[in-house]
């Protein structure tokens, strides 16, 4: 492995930062302390800092030489609304909030890269360091784009990275085309007429309607979309009723759809609208559907080949999988890739052997109450960000 020596020797500093972020997790668009720490750290490295993008986002700008090429490097900042079961010293200090997706580590890796690049200035052009808020609710990057981040800070291409527990340590996975699914989070309301359970003829039953809907919706996946177009629809919430002998007025159903193209999501959403309306009508109820979409993350081919070349220069050919299996998970980096060419990749975080005493009982997987970011991957991730910038802009050391 070709880790940049100055980054290797800064591993403890990155680790300390990472663990600080882990101990003080903040939710989507509430990353006040987090963004202040990011901004102060960047300023400490002598980097020009812009605060308050998409509310709590931070951008750092680094220039060297006279080149007019530019590149964006992105890390996400937010934590999840869940209760951490780990008991080690850097566990969450805020009950009900937890860095269970490793965004603490993503920030530390990009800050480690920023530290090195600010000192060395061995590149020719402009690097835009993007710390984006609210990835977990799927909208922080979109708000940054809508606010014109790339008009204010133009970049030729943008790159992102996510740690991947359960994948061999310090290996990379990437692919051209779709790498993460787009989503359609949905909420359905079935409005019926409540009645005594013994006299159903006096009511319009939203529970039976909801039960029919749950099965009817699955038909979209098997009957309406092309079998070769990957998609999944999961109903995950079904709420209604208080008493065993009362038919309630209203039932609410929630869930998510994942697919790798906007066209497939459009088709599924449109069929859902028809089915919710028709099944409700058939049962003399009223059906309402609300959908919140996040785009699929689609890597551009040339920039992905470039990213793979950079990965190979660090960890060697055999540790880069250029045909990694796409994930049904989602990522709001999708919106940055709609605005600029670029590539999103996974960095293998190992099988959980880094787990310390005081870990929770569950597996070390993303969005799990026993998760902890693996600090072993900080130097590789950080070197990757640096090499992306240097090799994109030119002026890099051999």
Q: Which is nearer to Zn ion, 142 or 286 (CB)?
A: 142
Q: Which is nearer to Zn ion, 135 or 387 (CB)?
A: 135
Taking the C-alpha atoms of residue 314 and residue 345, their distance in angstroms, rounded to an integer, is 14
Q: How far is the CB of 231 from Zn ion (least distance, A)?
A: 20
Which of these ranges, 39-47, 96-104, 209-217, 243-251, lies near Zn ion under the rule CB under 5 A? 96-104
Taking the C-alpha atoms of residue 233 and residue 390, their distance in angstroms, rounded to an integer, is 42
- Beta strands 297-299 and 195-196 are unpaired
Which of these ranges, 100-108, 274-282, 379-387, 388-396, lies near Zn ion under the rule CB under 5 A? 100-108
**Where on the phi/psi map is residue 344: left (φ > 0), alpha (ψ -120 to 50), or beta?**
beta
Give the contacts of 374 (CB within 8 A, at least 6 positions apart): 105, 163, 165, 169, 349, 350, 354, 364
Q: Which is nearer to Zn ion, 92 or 283 (CB)?
A: 92
- Beta strands 177-180 and 342-348 are unpaired
- CA 168 and chain centroid, separation: 20
Which of these ranges, 89-97, 99-107, 169-177, 278-286, lies near Zn ion under the rule CB under 5 A? 99-107
| C-alpha triplet 78, 83, 85: angle, nearest 5° | 115
Q: How far is the CB of 140 from Zn ion (least distance, A)?
A: 11
Q: How far is the CB of 89 from Zn ion (least distance, A)?
A: 23
Q: How far is the CB of 149 from Zn ion (least distance, A)?
A: 19
**Pick from 98, 101, 221, 320: which binds Zn ion (CB under 5 A)?**
101
Q: What is the DSSP letter of 375?
A: G
Q: How far is the CB of 330 from Zn ion (least distance, A)?
A: 9
Which of these ranges, 3-11, 14-22, 49-57, 98-106, lies near Zn ion under the rule CB under 5 A? 98-106
Q: How far is the CB of 338 from Zn ion (least distance, A)?
A: 19
Binding mask 53-92 for Zn ion (x = CB under 5 A): ----------------------------------------
Which of these ranges, 94-102, 152-160, 256-264, 347-355, lies near Zn ion under the rule CB under 5 A? 94-102
Q: Which of 302, 391, 284, 283 is nearest to 343 (CA)?
A: 302
Q: How many residues does the chain have?
A: 398
How many residues of this chain interact with Zn ion, rule: CB under 5 A? 1
DSSP string computed for 283-339: TT-EEEEEEEEE--EEE-HHHHHHHHHHHHHHH-GGGEETTPPPBSS--THHHHHHH
Q: Which is nearer to Zn ion, 217 or 294 (CB)?
A: 294
Q: Is 180 one of the binding residues for Zn ion (CB under 5 A)? A: no
By CB under 5 A, name the binding residues for Zn ion. 101
């Amino acid at each position: 492995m070709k880790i940049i020596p100055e980054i290797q020797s800064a591993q403890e500093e990155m680790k300390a930062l990472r663990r600080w972020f882990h101990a003080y997790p903040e939710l989507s668009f509430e990353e006040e302390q987090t963004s202040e720490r990011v901004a102060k750290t960047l300023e400490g490295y002598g980097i020009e800092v812009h605060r308050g993008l998409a509310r709590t986002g931070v951008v750092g700008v680094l220039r060297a030489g006279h080149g007019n090429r530019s590149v964006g490097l992105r890390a996400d900042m937010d934590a999840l609304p869940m209760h951490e079961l780990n008991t080690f010293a850097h566990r969450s200090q805020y009950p009900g909030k937890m860095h269970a997706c490793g965004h603490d580590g993503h920030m530390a890796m990009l800050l480690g890269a920023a530290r090195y690049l600010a000192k060395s200035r061995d590149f020719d052009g402009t690097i835009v360091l993007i710390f984006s808020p609210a990835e977990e609710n799927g909208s922080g990057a979109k708000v940054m784009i809508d606010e014109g981040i790339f008009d204010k800070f133009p970049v030729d291409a943008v790159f992102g990275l996510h740690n991947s527990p359960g994948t061999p340590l310090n290996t990379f996975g990437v692919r051209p085309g779709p790498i993460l699914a787009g989503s359609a989070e949905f909420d359905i309301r079935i409005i019926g007429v409540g009645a005594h359970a013994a006299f159903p003829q006096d009511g319009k039953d939203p529970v039976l309607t909801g039960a029919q809907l749950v099965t009817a919706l699955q038909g979209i996946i098997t009957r309406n979309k092309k079998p070769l177009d990957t998609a999944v629809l999961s109903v995950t919430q079904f709420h209604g009723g208080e008493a065993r002998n009362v038919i309630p007025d209203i039932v609410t159903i929630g869930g998510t759809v994942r697919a790798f193209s906007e066209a497939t999501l459009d088709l599924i959403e449109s069929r859902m609208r028809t089915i919710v309306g028709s099944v409700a009508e058939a049962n003399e109820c009223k059906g309402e559907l609300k959908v919140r979409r996040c785009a699929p993350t689609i890597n551009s081919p040339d920039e992905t080949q470039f990213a793979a070349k950079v990965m190979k220069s660090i960890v060697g050919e055999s540790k880069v999988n250029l045909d990694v299996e796409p994930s049904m998970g989602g990522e709001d980096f999708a919106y940055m890739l709609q605005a600029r060419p670029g590539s999103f990749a996974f960095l293998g975080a190992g099988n959980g052997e880094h787990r310390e005493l005081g870990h929770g009982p569950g597996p070390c997987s993303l969005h799990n109450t026993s998760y902890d970011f693996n600090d072993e991957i900080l130097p590789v991730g950080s070197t990757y960000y640096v090499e992306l910038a240097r090799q994109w802009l030119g002026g890099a050391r051999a």
